[in-house]
Amino acid sequence: MNIAPINQSNYIRRRIFSAVMDGVCTVAALFSLVILGLILTTLVQKGLAGLSPSLFTEPMKTPGNGGGLANAIVGTLIQTGLGILVGAPLGMAVGVYLSEVGRNSRLASAVRFVNDILLSAPSVLVGLFVYQIVVVPTGGFSGFAGSIALALLAMPVIARTTEDIMKLVPESYREGSLALGARDSTTIIKVVLPAAFGGILTGILLAVARISGETAPLIFTSLGSFNFSSDLMSPMASLPIAIYRYASSPYGEWVDLAWAGALVITVGVLTLNVLSRLTYHWASNRR
């Protein structure tokens, strides 16, 4: 910018240009919001049309026989739950390592960098990977393999939020604890972790939201199924896979069920996101 003594007509021209660009950006923003709003409207309209109590009570059935998505919902709950059960402790440990032990060491920098890559790595490739290291050796597609894939996707999310949150805990907390003669491990477990608890919970909720909608990795791991199954070593249904199969089928009623399923999963994911925000506010106010 070369700001000379203000040339009146030039200044007016610049003001007008700025106002025009304000307008262009505003229109771009409104246009985008309208498109995104349209998607949500379509989802709600088509989803509500296919929504019925039997969606939550009946398992998937062959076309023409009604049926719902209950087994897929249960399958998603099982696999997401197990994925978090494995991924959360691992992710938290990584986050604690980065924030409390490794800090700026070379190893920690490498772990931080790689974790950020894993955070956005294509989930379809995690599916291929788990296919090769779990499905092939165990002899078949299974809910267990699906859970492992989801755990690998949850881990980096939780590691990232855990580290970020623990870094926000004031250094004086740690110094206070150490001054009382506590060991590093005691300081971390009894002082830093409790102070960061709310934030870590936020990260876990976000990870649940992220993995419960994952479709691609499950194609290669838990495959999908028409039956209720709690057997972790056999193929297991999941909501995203059921939506994928039904939406690409030629049967109208399956497509309706797919929309209803998509609505259910979107509402679930958005609720989890809102919950995680509320948790975060609650946690930061408490402090």
Looking at residues 18 to 37 of the shown chain, list those that interact with other proteins (rule: CB under 8 A). Answer: 18, 21-22, 24-33, 35-36
Please report how close the Cβ of residue 287 comes to other proteins at its closest, in angstroms: 21
Q: How far apart are CA 134 and CA 151, in angstroms?
A: 13
265 touches other proteins (CB under 8 A): yes
- φ, ψ (nearest 5 deg) of residue 251: -90, 125
The answer to whether residues 167 and 196 touch, using CB atoms and an 8 Å cutoff, is no
Closest residue by Cα to residue 131 from 150, 151, 145, 152: 145
CA distances from 3 to 6, 19, 66, 78, 149 (A): 7, 19, 72, 64, 57
Residues 34-53 interacting with other proteins (rule: CB under 8 A): 35-36, 38-39, 42-43, 46
144 touches other proteins (CB under 8 A): no
Stretch that binds other proteins, among 48-56, 80-88, 108-116, 195-203 (CB under 8 A): 108-116
Which of 8, 120, 172, 285 forms a contact with other proteins (CB under 8 A)? Answer: 120
Assigned token pair, 54: 């039997």
Query: Nearer to other proteins by C-beta: 45 or 62?
Result: 45
150 touches other proteins (CB under 8 A): no
Residues 66-105 interacting with other proteins (rule: CB under 8 A): 90, 93-94, 96-98, 100-102
Query: Nearer to other proteins by C-beta: 22 or 57?
Result: 22
Please report how close the Cβ of residue 16 comes to other proteins at its closest, in angstroms: 9
Q: How far apart are CA 223 and CA 142, in angstroms?
A: 7
DSSP state of 4: P
Residues 221-260 interacting with other proteins (rule: CB under 8 A): 240, 243-244, 247-248, 255, 258-259
Q: How far apart are CA 124 and CA 114, in angstroms?
A: 18
The vertex-103 CA angle with 277 and 83, nearest 5°, equals 45
148 touches other proteins (CB under 8 A): no
